[in-house]
């Protein structure tokens, strides 16, 4: 299994605009559940720490294999979400690593 973690900073000129963009991002990724072969788990979290170095949103997803993760990157539903969210993200960070079935490295 492969764990795929992505963290974003989200655009927004006001706190309300930023909150709306975060909600769009969360809803868009939740909409991928059950639509991507090999996507076993998908969790989206919004930062509540408030520290200045924190990212706004994190996506944690587990894939059955590296091949499933590679296919996800080109899957039409994932590409649709990326297009929908174009311009909402100001920074992106990613980490992918293998895990065993129990979720341990």
Dist CA 3 CA 23 (whole Å) = 23
Tokens of 61: 């997803």
Tokens (6 digits) for 43: 């969790």
Burial grade of 24 (CB within 10 A; 0-12, 13-18, 19 or more): middle
Give yes or no for a contact between 99 and 105, defined as CB atoms under 8 angstroms apart: yes
**Averaged pLDDT, 64-78:** 97
Q: What is the pLDDT of residue 101?
A: 64
Number of helices (H) and strands (E) in the chain: give both, helices first.
3, 4
CATH number 3.30.70.100 is the correct assignment for the domain at 2-97: yes
pLDDT at residue 54 in the model: 96
First to last CA, the chain: 10
Domain boundaries, the chain: 2-97
Residue range 14-38, pLDDT digits in tens: 999 999 999 999 999 999 999 999 9
Residue 103 has pLDDT above 80, yes or no: no
Closest CA to 58 of 33, 92, 27: 92
Average pLDDT, the chain: 94
pLDDT higher than 70, residue 102: no
Residue 88: CB atoms within 10 A of its CB come to 19
pLDDT at residue 104 tops 80: no
């Amino acid at each position: 299994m492969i764990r795929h973690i992505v963290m974003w900073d989200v655009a927004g000129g006001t706190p309300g605009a930023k909150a709306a963009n975060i909600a769009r991002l969360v809803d868009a990724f939740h909409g991928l559940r059950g639509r991507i072969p090999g996507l076993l788990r998908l969790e989206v979290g919004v930062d509540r720490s408030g520290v200045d170095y924190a990212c706004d949103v994190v996506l944690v997803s587990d894939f059955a294999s590296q091949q499933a993760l590679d296919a996800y990157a080109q899957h039409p539903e994932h590409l649709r979400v990326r297009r929908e969210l174009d311009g909402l993200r100001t920074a992106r960070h990613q980490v992918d690593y293998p895990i065993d079935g129990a979720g341990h490295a």
